[in-house]
Amino acid sequence: MVRLLRIGIVVGSILFAVFQLVLPVYAFLPAMQARAVHLGFMFFIVFAGGSLRRADKTGKPLRPWRLAIDLLLAAAGIGIVGYVFLNYQSVSQQYGIPTGPLQVAAAFALTLLVLEAARREIQPTLPIIAMLFLLYALFGHRIPGTFGIPRYGLETIAGHLFLTTAGLWGMLVGVSTDIIAIFVFFGAVIFATGGGTGFMRLSVRLAGRFSGGPAKVATVASALFGSISGSASANVATTGSFTIPMMRRLKYKPEMAAAVEATASTGGQIMPPIMGAGAFVLAELTETPYLEVVYRALIPAICFFAAVGVGIHFYAKREGYTGLDRSELPSWAETVRASVFFLLPFVVLMAWMVGGYTPQYAAFWATLVALPLSLITADWKLAVKEALPQLKTAAVNGARQAAVIAAISASAQVIISVIAMTGLGVKISTLILSVSQGQLFLTLVLIALTSIVLGMQVPTTAAYIMAVVVGGPVLITFGLPPIAAHLFVFYFAILSAITPPICGAVFISAGMAEADWFASAKIALKLSFAAFFVPFVFVYDPALLLIGSLPEIAYAILRTAAAVLFLAGGLMCYWRREIRTIRRGLLLTAGVLMLFPIPMLSLAGAGLGILLLFV
């Protein structure tokens, strides 16, 4: 039975991969049918594969009763979405009105199955939040005052969730189906066919020999890997298994090694050209072409990683850390050969997107280019026998990741549906404006705190969605460009991964480095300081998002770069040599002055920083 189930998971994963690769290109299914198939595969991968994953993790035999429950849940989920798939025309023509109690029961059963799938794959916080929103829809009429709502019956809520594209078949599940899944499989193919080796060799070759080389290797590798993975935790687990031992071998403090990996892995989600699942949702919500989102987000992402790199450099200089020995660096020939495995698909991807094609169409052709690379080793030797196992690994890993994102998207869609139905978003937006009394800075602080708090136990994409639904409209009322408002929320949703008290990326990296998590989190906050102020900079000065004239853009970039340099030196207590309290305070002051888009203040900050450099 176990062997048959393993075969079934592999076959299901391959079919899932084929479906997601072909669907965005040929669009052979209506939206509701395609999303039903997507969720059907999700239920199969999450529930049917759940028992196997638990047994493999614990090393204990598979329990028949638990397997039976998992298969029953998978069958129930597939059965309900199968009903929608077969009857989508009649369902779409019901206009949200159930025909009987069976459809009402199916609606709530499907909702609970989606939340259970999300609970199994991530922390239970998101399903709990979604359940609280459902309870608000059911019992919100009992709340007095502003947050009270009209009474909604079970039929009304069920019809909204199950029979309309404003419910479980809404935009978030659509983005997961049409765009995110194909990029997940694209990334899985790249890493299974040698792209991961290429990432690491290129990172070591570029940064390994400099002061603090291993930490800089972690930064470069995490930026490259995170651009595809879109997950801080996955990034830490993958690149950290290589970079953390490297840093420890060169006598890095465990807390510093953990902080570097957690910070760089978190920033990977904002690094173009592929910024993770959240960026695709951002493009959809702002109705902005994805390539433009990447273009606008490029300079802030570079500022973030520049801050991390400069902070590492100053820390390494202060502590006397050296780089890797030349004998430990791969040759340029080895580096180039290995880099082809990810550079070639990336070039194809960018060529198609720059040519005006959709991201999913570009990902389809980039994946096709990556597939033949499975026949070649990283040293460019023919290895036909290894090709099938590699592609099987890519399909299984990609299916698992796509299923997790589908469960997250569907759970977040429940929240968005309730907010839209009850008008809760408008109520919360009004409350924020009332508390901030119409002041932009205070509004930004409140929304930033909300984004961080929501993201502390929720994946970045879900945290961003929940925060932007209430915060995005508020910021746009101040006249901000939509891309600036949404990127502001997106940045702070990401930062929750390294912000205490619940900082998932730090927990994982600290465990791998055997470090104190709180000390690691403090260093991570110092390294990631740019991500806390850059969003404020581009809100007040959109030139940092490449919006405006060339002189304005150049001034914003130079000003922000100088601020990054001065603040990194102040936070790491190094400016040509180790500095003490007074000089450190002056250097931090210079950095803060550079943040203001006022020429006189910028000039004063630049002068102070330069003076400290030579005095």
Q: What confidence tier does 3 reach under pLDDT thresholds 50, 70, 90?
A: confident
CA distance 391 to 385: 11
In this structure, are residues 590 and 606 in contact, taking their beta carbons and an 8 Å threshold? yes
**Tell me, what DSSP letter sits at residue 63?**
P
- The predicted model gives 273-298 an average pLDDT of 82
Neighbours of 273 (CB within 10 A): 19
Check pLDDT > 70 for residue 237.
no
Q: What is the pLDDT of residues 177-225, one digit of tens each?
A: 888 888 888 888 887 887 777 777 777 777 667 666 667 777 777 776 6
Q: So what's the pLDDT on residue 238?
A: 65
- SS3 (DSSP) at 126: helix
Q: What is the pLDDT of residues 83-133, one digit of tens each?
A: 999 988 888 888 778 888 899 999 999 999 999 998 888 778 788 888 999
Q: What confidence tier does 554 reach under pLDDT thresholds 50, 70, 90?
A: very high
Q: So what's the pLDDT on residue 14?
A: 93
Structure-token pair, residue 10: 């592999």
CA distance 310 to 529: 11
Angle, helices 232-249/254-267, rounded to nearest 10 degrees:
150
Q: What is the pLDDT of residues 17-65, one digit of tens each?
A: 999 988 877 767 888 899 999 999 999 999 988 777 776 666 667 777 7
End-to-end CA distance of the chain: 75
- The predicted model gives 66-91 an average pLDDT of 90
Handedness of CA 541, 544, 550, 552 (dihedral sign): positive
Supply the Cα-derived Rg of the chain in whole angstroms.
25
- SS3 (DSSP) at 490: helix
Ramachandran bin of 548, using left for φ above 0, alpha for ψ from -120 to 50, beta for the remaining angles: left
Q: So what's the pLDDT on residue 412?
A: 85
Check pLDDT > 80 for residue 350.
yes
Check pLDDT > 70 for residue 228.
no
Q: So what's the pLDDT on residue 574?
A: 85
Q: What is the pLDDT of residues 443-501, one digit of tens each?
A: 999 888 888 887 776 777 777 887 888 788 888 888 889 999 999 998 888 888 888 87
Q: So what's the pLDDT on residue 64?
A: 77
Which residue type occupies 65?
A: W
Domain residue spans of the chain: 2-172, 179-287+298-382
Percent share of the chain, pLDDT over 70 = 92
Contacts of 385 (CB under 8 A, 6+ apart): none
Check pLDDT > 70 for residue 434.
yes
In this structure, are residues 48 and 434 in contact, taking their beta carbons and an 8 Å threshold? no
Q: What confidence tier does 546 reach under pLDDT thresholds 50, 70, 90?
A: very high
Q: So what's the pLDDT on residue 422?
A: 87
Our measurement of the distance from residue 489's CA atom to the centroid of its chain's CA atoms, rounded to an integer in Å, reads 13
In this structure, are residues 201 and 335 in contact, taking their beta carbons and an 8 Å threshold? yes
Q: So what's the pLDDT on residue 479?
A: 86
163-177, 222-236, 277-291, 343-357: the lowest-pLDDT one: 222-236
Contacts of 392 (CB under 8 A, 6+ apart): 10, 14
What DSSP string runs through 172-187?
Answer: HHHHIIIIIHHHHHHH
- Name the range with the highest mean pLDDT among 188-202, 322-336, 467-481, 542-556: 542-556
Our measurement of the distance from residue 175's CA atom to the centroid of its chain's CA atoms, rounded to an integer in Å, reads 14
Check pLDDT > 90 for residue 146.
no
CA distance 43 to 117: 7
Q: So what's the pLDDT on residue 256?
A: 85
Q: So what's the pLDDT on residue 115?
A: 94
Phi, psi of 606 (to 5 degrees): -65, -45
Q: Between 64 and 414, where is the model more confident?
A: 414
CA distance 323 to 327: 11
Q: Which residue has the tokens 């460009």?
A: 481
- The predicted model gives 591-608 an average pLDDT of 88
Q: Between 52 and 8, where is the model more confident?
A: 8
- SS3 (DSSP) at 149: coil
* 145 CB burial (10 A radius; 0-12, 13-18, 19+): exposed
CA distance 119 to 16: 21
Check pLDDT > 80 for residue 392.
yes
Q: What is the pLDDT of residues 308-319, one digit of tens each?
A: 888 888 888 887
Q: Between 584 and 205, where is the model more confident?
A: 584
